[in-house]
Amino acid sequence: MSRSLLIGLLFVWLLLSPQNSAMAATCSCAGVPLLTSIDTSATEKGQFFVTYTTEFHQISDLVSGTRDVTDETDRDRSSFSQVLSASYALTDRWAVSALVSYVEHSRTIGSSFLGETISSGIGDSVILARYTPMFITPFSRHELSFGLGVRIPTGEDNFGDGFVFSEDMQPSSGSVGKIFWSSYSYAFNQAATVQFNASTNFTTNEENDRHYAFGDELNFALGISHSIGTRFGYSAALRYRTTKADKRSGALIPNTGGEWLDFVPAVQYAINDQFNIALSGRIPVARKLDGVLQFTTSYSYALSLSYGF
Amino acid sequence: MFSGKAINTGQQISLSDYRGKVVFVDFWASWCPPCLASLPAYDQMREEIGTEEFEIIAINVDENTEDGVEFLAEHPVRYPVLADPDGIIGIPYGIRTLPHSFLLDRDGQIISSHRSFKLGDEIKLKLEIEQLLKKDQMNH
C-alpha cells in the first residue's frame, strides 16, 4: 500500500473518536485498542447508539529507543479487530457505554507461509459509566465529562495447536483492568461546528491467569474537529500514550513499555439522521520505547458504522 | 413563563397571555440548518390549524439577535418570535440542540417535546396538535 494512499485512508478514518484512546501499540498488545472504539455518543436522556467498528493494525516497525531499526527477519505482524459498542444516556448527565470485541492476530516470520501464526477469538469487553456535568449548548461553549469503567477479560486462552500463544498473540488480555476516563471540549462558535477537544484515560491492569500483567497505560489526546453542514465532518488529533513495562509474576518483562506520539486524522459522514459512517487512522509521529528492541505499530485504520436514535 | 418583545412583529407578548390556547414553543437559530425548513413548515401548519385556539411562539437563540432578524427578513413567519441570546428562556427548558420545540396544553403544561426537524415532521405534529385541541375542548 502506498504511503499517500495510506495517509488518505487514515485521514478518512480519524473523526470517529478523537477524545478516546487506549491504543496498544507495542508487540506486548494482546488486547485491542478498545477505548478507541467505545461509543460515547449518547449524551441526551434516552439516546441510544450502536456502533460497529472494524480496525486494522500493522505492527511491523522495529524500534530501538527512538530509532527505527531495519528488520532483517522479514517479519509481518498485524491485528484485526471487530468491535460492537453501544451507549445509552440514562439521563442528560449519566450514560453508560459497553463493548464486546473479536480479535485476530497474525504473525509471519520469514517469507514462508509455514512461519505464519494466527490466533483469533473473543477479546476483552469494556463497561464505562460516564458523568457529564457540563455540556455544549447554544448557551454554553464548554463540555466536561468523566468516566469510570472496567475492562473484562471475556476472551479465552487460545491454545492453537496445543500450545498457549504468547501474550501479544492472545485475543484477550485475560485480566481485569480499571479505566479512568475524562474529556473536555470547547466550541469555538455557537453552532459548535468547530471544537477543541482534550481527553485522557488511564488503565490499570491486573495480572492474568498466566501471571502476566500488561503495563498500566496513560493516554492523552488534543484535537480539533470541524463539521460542515449537517452531514460531513473531519478532525485531527495528536495522541500521546505511555505504558509501564509488562510484568510476569512481578518480574519486569524487557522490551515492553514506552511512549508514543501519534497523529490521528478522521472523517465522518452522516448517511441520514440515524446512520453515520466514519473512517480514521493513526500515523506515528514519535516514539521512545523501553528496552533494546520493540516491534510497534506502523499504522492503523478503522472503519465504523453507527446507528443512533 | 416568559415574556418579551417580538423581534418580527414588535408586539409585547407573554406566555401567560396564551393560557386557554394550545401553544407550540419553538427554539431555533439562524445557523441551524433544519430551522431553515422548520420555520416555514410551522408557519404553514399554523395557517392550516388557525389561531383561534392555537399559537406558535418562536424563541430565537442567536448570540447576535441581528442574525435572527436578518434570517426572518429572508424567511418571514407570521407568529411572534422572541429573542433569547443569553438562554434566560432556553436554559430552564433544557435546550441543548436545535431546533427543539415543546407542545403546551391550554393550561401551559408541556405535553411533548420535539428535537430536530425533517420535512414531514410537521404532518405528525399537526395531527398531535389537532388531537390535543379536541381533547382539551372536551375537558373545558
pLDDT by 10s per residue, chain B, length 140: 899 999 998 999 999 999 999 999 999 999 999 999 999 999 999 999 999 999 999 999 999 999 999 999 999 999 999 999 999 999 999 999 999 999 999 999 999 999 989 899 999 999 999 999 988 666 65
Residues in chain B closer than 8 A to A140 (CB atoms): 87
pTM of the model: 0.84
Q: How many domains does chain A have?
A: 1
Question: pLDDT category, A19, cuts 50, 70, 90?
Answer: very low
Per-residue pLDDT tens over the stretch A161-193: 667 788 888 888 889 999 999 999 999 999 999
Q: Which domain holds residue A155?
A: 3-308
Contact call for residues A77 and A306 (beta carbons, < 8 A): no
The alpha-carbon gap from A253 to the nearest alpha carbon of chain B, in Å, equals 49
Partner-chain contact B95 A273, CB within 8 Å: no
Per-residue pLDDT tens over the stretch A278-288: 999 999 999 99
Higher per-residue confidence, A186 vs A39: A186
Contact call for residues A22 and A217 (beta carbons, < 8 A): yes
Contact call for residues A297 and A280 (beta carbons, < 8 A): no
Scanning B111-130 for CB atoms below 8 A from A yields 115-116, 118
Q: Is A114 helix (H, G, I), strand (E, B) or coil?
A: helix
Q: Which among A135, A139, A230 has CB closest to B86? A: A139
- Name the strands in the sheet holding B22-28, side by side, starting at the edge strand that comes first in the sequence: B81-83, B54-60, B22-28, B100-104, B110-115
**Type of residue numbered A149:** G
Q: Which among A136, A139, A273 has CB closest to B118? A: A273
- Looking only at the bridges linking them, the beta strands covering A125-134 and A94-108 are antiparallel
Residues in chain A closer than 8 A to B62 (CB atoms): 190
**Percent of chain A whose predicted confidence (pLDDT) is above 90:** 62
Partner-chain contact A92 B94, CB within 8 Å: yes
Per-residue pLDDT tens over the stretch A84-102: 999 999 998 999 999 999 9
> Within an 8 Å CB–CB cutoff, is residue B2 touching chain A?
no
- What's the rounded Cα separation, in Å, for the pair A284 and A300? 9
The candidate with the shortest Cα–Cα distance to A244, out of A232, A256, A260, A262, is A256
The alpha-carbon gap from A110 to the nearest alpha carbon of chain B, in Å, equals 56
- What's the rounded Cα separation, in Å, for the pair A203 and A137? 31
* CATH of residue A88: 2.40.128.130
The candidate with the shortest Cα–Cα distance to A15, out of A234, A230, A309, is A234
The candidate with the shortest Cα–Cα distance to B7, out of B48, B61, B88, is B61
ipTM of predicted complex: 0.90
> Within an 8 Å CB–CB cutoff, is residue A228 touching chain B?
no
The candidate with the shortest Cα–Cα distance to A263, out of A14, A6, A12, A23, is A14
Per-residue pLDDT tens over the stretch B35-76: 999 999 999 999 999 999 999 999 999 999 999 999 999 999
What pLDDT does residue A33 have?
58
* CATH of residue B115: 3.40.30.10
> In the predicted model, what is the mean pLDDT of chain A?
85
A203, A245, A294 from A254: Cα distances, Å: 20, 7, 9
Query: Which chain B residue's Cα is nearest to A309?
Result: B115
Task: Considering only CA atoms, give the Rg of chain A.
Answer: 19
Residues in chain B closer than 8 A to A190 (CB atoms): 29, 31, 62-63
> Within an 8 Å CB–CB cutoff, is residue B31 touching chain A?
yes
> Within an 8 Å CB–CB cutoff, is residue A162 touching chain B?
no
Q: Which domain holds residue B133?
A: 3-139
What pLDDT does residue B3 have?
92
Task: Considering only CA atoms, give the Rg of chain B.
Answer: 14
Q: How many domains does chain B have?
A: 1
**Looking at the predicted structure, is the pLDDT value of residue A23 above 60?**
no
What pLDDT does residue A158 have?
58
